[in-house]
A and B are shown apart, each in its own frame.
Chain A
Amino acid sequence: QKEVEQDPGPLSVPEGAIVSLNCTYSNSAFQYFMWYRQYSRKGPELLMYTYSSGNKEDGRFTAQVDKSSKYISLFIRDSQPSDSATYLCAMSERNTGFQKLVFGTGTRLLVSP
């Protein structure tokens, strides 16, 4: 079993839809959770960063962490064609010293005009 599971998609939605992207994990020691966005032929870039449980909102994006269920989500409101990309979740146990990031395999999102 992989430490982090993520549906590879693709997930196809029309412009304006609400998108829900999810990851599950098995390591209860994870405390720091990230979402990276990767456009085609580019490296991943950090989109959202959360610590422990709860929600964090940034514009059209909301990151949600449910540590009791070992489940994290990224919601995109009013999705745009420019949101079409692969979304990778990543997580770690600590944020000090060296701490390996464990990545999901990524979900490919396609937003059609």
Chain B
Amino acid sequence: DVKVTQSSRYLVKRTGEKVFLECVQDMDHENMFWYRQDPGLGLRLIYFSYDVKMKEKGDIPEGYSVSREKKERFSLILESASTNQTSMYLCASRYLAGGYNEQFFGPGTRLTVL
């Protein structure tokens, strides 16, 4: 079974703090994604990565950056957290040659910025 893990289930940070969200997948998937999920807005793509050291902006990259130094790990960084970044953050990975566009999701990190 594909397993995508995220470093924290719940996180509380203060405005202005630098926040790191870590995601690890164990199936050698090339593509990895970061989404945020908000009521009424659904899943919105923040950043994605084709492969190691490659990254592309998604639909809402402002206020975020990412790092992918190893294939299995994709980090989301909030340089200076703000209250409007309070959300559920979901990481996903995808096997490029699988024939499907299926993305496998982690359990999510619920981030609260005070």
Contact = CB atoms under 8 A, between A and B. Distances in A.
Q: Which secondary structure characterizes the binding site on chain A?
A: loop
Interface residues of A, number: 24
B101 A32 contact: yes
A60 interface: no
Interface residues of B, number: 25
Interface stretch (A10-18, A68-76, A77-85, A101-109): A101-109
Given A34-B101, A42-B107, A95-B100, A100 B42 contact: no
Contacts of A101: 101, 103
Contacts of B9: 41
B48 interface: yes
Contact of A41 (B4, B45, B103, B107): B107
Nearest to B45: A100
A84 B100 CA distance: 26
Interface in B61-114: 90, 92, 99-108
B101 A103 contact: no
Name, among A8, A42, A100, A104, the residue most crowded by chain B CB atoms within 10 Å (CB to CB): A100
18 contacts: A6-B42, A8-B40, A32-B100, A34-B102, A36-B105, A43-B90, A44-B43, A44-B105, A45-B105, A46-B102, A88-B42, A94-B101, A95-B100, A98-B48, A99-B101, A103-B42, A103-B43, A105-B42
